Amino acid sequence: MSPQAEASFIGLDLGTSGCRAIAIDAGGQEIARARVGLPAPERPAPGHIEQDPELWWAAAQQVLGALAQDLRHHAPNAICVDATSASVLLTDPSGQALGRALMYSDQSATDAARRVAEVAPLDSPARGPSAGLAKLIALADRLKPGAPALALHQADWISGRLCGRFGWSDWNNALKTGFDPIQLGWPDWVLGLLPREIQLPRVQAPGTAVGFLDPAVAARLGLPNRILVLAGTTDSTAAAIAAGAARPGDAVTSLGSTLVIKVVADRPITASRYGVYSHRFADGWILGGASNSGGAVLRQYFTEAEIRALSRLMDPSTETGLDYYPLPAAGERFPRHDPSLQPLLEPRPQSPEEFLQGLFEGIAAIEAEGYAKLAELGAPMPTRIATLGGGSANAAWTRIRSQRLGVPVITAPDQEAAYGAAKLALKATTDLA
């Protein structure tokens, strides 16, 4: 690496199925990327979804080592880690994992969730068995009484392995563990739920410098050891950063198996009935909701190849008049909270492209209803919507959505959470300078 090497910034993403790393230059342009898959989590019993944290660390080292090979003429300045929200573990005071982590989708901590429900505010994101707090309580129950331990999130632990310092987290990952993003502290009711020996992390703003890359790790990966390690964020927040969300009214829709919408606001909004909660986001907030509708419904009737072919045949400018509410099964969470809501997919026309267009229109209507619900709760209406996920590439669906939503709808040019984490590293390092 030459003395005149160009600065670069690394984002590391621990996702649901793999680990990705992306490096960008000072202008935000991607210069290198690497990816490795992760084994599926273990399922020792119904509702239990666990994983050995050492698998994360092995994957992180592999992708960073591969990335380093492409950065010989660049000088990495900082690294920022994002990871799945509410994937948690306990470690000893030195950062050694005390068993498997409970993953974001684990639902096993039902007894602990009941204890949380007895004291948590009704609008707390820390309620429920899938939240990080209940999982940490369940993990603490397994420990020998009196054993000291650190409570960490997936991104915290990987960042700690990189710099050799543990015991800190960020606003976004700590939210579902009960951290108060308004008062910026751990509420007394959270502290009272965990044994005194379990130390909750010190929580800092995403992008805060917490240390330098450990020299031994740097040598093993082929990276310089003066790389700043920064407090991270969640994968969904990193994806919103990648999509360009920055100012109030900027919105992001993810068209994956489910429909997820987010909008940047200037104040926090919480509506637990609809699963709506707010993350601190730069100088404002980002909030959103998730419908059970989405691509999973489309795949019940069509293959990916059929969707592409039929989309070319439809005329998005002429509505079908089919008033569908597409759901893969009974039950909806947002924008309507109705566990018994039935899918509405009748009448079904003989033409497959007309049926598919009706499904597109129905999901677009749910998206519009979702943004209207967020506005009803106090969020701004979108001024533009960047789209992520597999559905973002479908031109016919994009046109249908734009007509229904009444605002510009674009496909986000950068959709990787790792890119968002790299952007966060770039901005944080620039601000530090």
For 61-119, how does the pLDDT look when each residue is reduced to its tens digit (9 = 90+)? Answer: 999 999 999 998 899 999 999 999 899 999 999 999 999 999 999 999 999 999 999 99
Contacts of 4 (CB under 8 A, 6+ apart): none
CB-facing half-sphere around the CA of 113: CA atoms within 13 A: 15
20 Cβ neighbours under 8 A, 6+ residues apart: 12, 13, 33, 34, 35, 63, 416, 417, 418
DSSP string of 364-417, one letter each residue = HHHHHHHHHHHHHTTPPPPSEEEEESGGGG-HHHHHHHHHHH-S-EEE-S---H
Q: Could you say which DSSP state residue 331 is in? A: -
pLDDT in tens, 363-388: 999 999 999 999 999 999 999 999 99
For residue range 160-199, list pLDDT tens digits in order.
999 999 999 999 999 999 999 999 999 999 999 999 999 9
Backbone angles phi, psi at 301, to 5 degrees: -120, -25
Q: Is the peptide bond before 335 cis (omega within 30 degrees of 0)?
A: yes
State the Cα–Cα distance between residues 9 and 396, nearest whole angstrom.
36
Beta strands at 384-388 and 250-255: parallel, antiparallel or unpaired: parallel
Q: How confident is the model at residue 321 (pLDDT cuts 50, 70, 90)?
A: very high
First to last CA, the chain: 22
The pLDDT confidence band at residue 2, using thresholds 50, 70 and 90, is: low
In 3D space, the residue among 74, 76, 63, 77 whose CA is nearest the CA of residue 33 turns out to be 63
Looking at every residue in the chain, the average pLDDT score rounds to 95
pLDDT at 51: 97
pTM of the model: 0.92
What is residue 4's predicted lDDT score, i.e. its pLDDT? Answer: 64
What is the distance between the alpha carbons of residues 230 and 206, in angstroms, rounded to a whole number?
7
Q: What is the mean pLDDT of residues 120-139?
A: 95
Asked if residue 3 has pLDDT above 70, the reply is: no
Count of other CB atoms within 10 angstroms of residue 340:
7
Answer whether residue 147 shows pLDDT above 90.
Answer: no
Q: Where are the beta strands (DSSP E) in 171-291?
A: 198-199, 202-204, 209-212, 228-234, 250-255, 259-265, 277-281, 284-291
For residue 225, what pLDDT is reported?
85
Summarize pLDDT for 307-319 with one digit per residue, the tens. 999 999 999 999 9
**CATH for 6-237+417-432 (3.90.1300.10, 3.20.20.120, 3.30.420.40, 3.30.465.10):** 3.30.420.40
| Whole-number Å distance between alpha carbons of 225 and 218 | 5
User: Given this model, what pLDDT does residue 16 score?
Assistant: 80
Q: In the chain, what are the domain boundaries?
A: 6-237+417-432, 246-411
Residue 17 reports pLDDT greater than 90: no
> Has residue 306 got a pLDDT over 90?
yes
pLDDT of residue 238: 95
Give the separation between CA 131 and CA 114, rounded to whole angstroms: 12
Across the range 411-430, mean pLDDT stands at 95
CA distance 336 to 316: 26
pLDDT digits (tens, 9 = 90+) for 270-291: 998 898 999 999 889 999 999 9
The CATH T-level fold of domain 246-411 is Nucleotidyltransferase; domain 5 (3.30.420)
pLDDT tens digits for range 212-236: 999 999 999 999 989 999 999 999 9
pLDDT band, residue 27 (cuts 50/70/90)? very high
CA atoms within 13 A on the CB side of 72: 3
Q: How do residues 392-419 score in pLDDT, each as one tens digit?
A: 999 999 999 999 999 999 999 899 999 9
Same fold, 6-237+417-432 and 246-411: yes
pLDDT band at 433 (very low <50, low <70, confident <90, very high): low
Neighbours of 94 (CB within 10 A): 9
| pLDDT (average), residues 127-144 | 95
Give the integer Cα–Cα distance in Å for 402 and 409: 6
Q: How many residues does the chain have?
A: 433
Mean pLDDT of 319-326: 97
What pLDDT sits at residue 273?
86
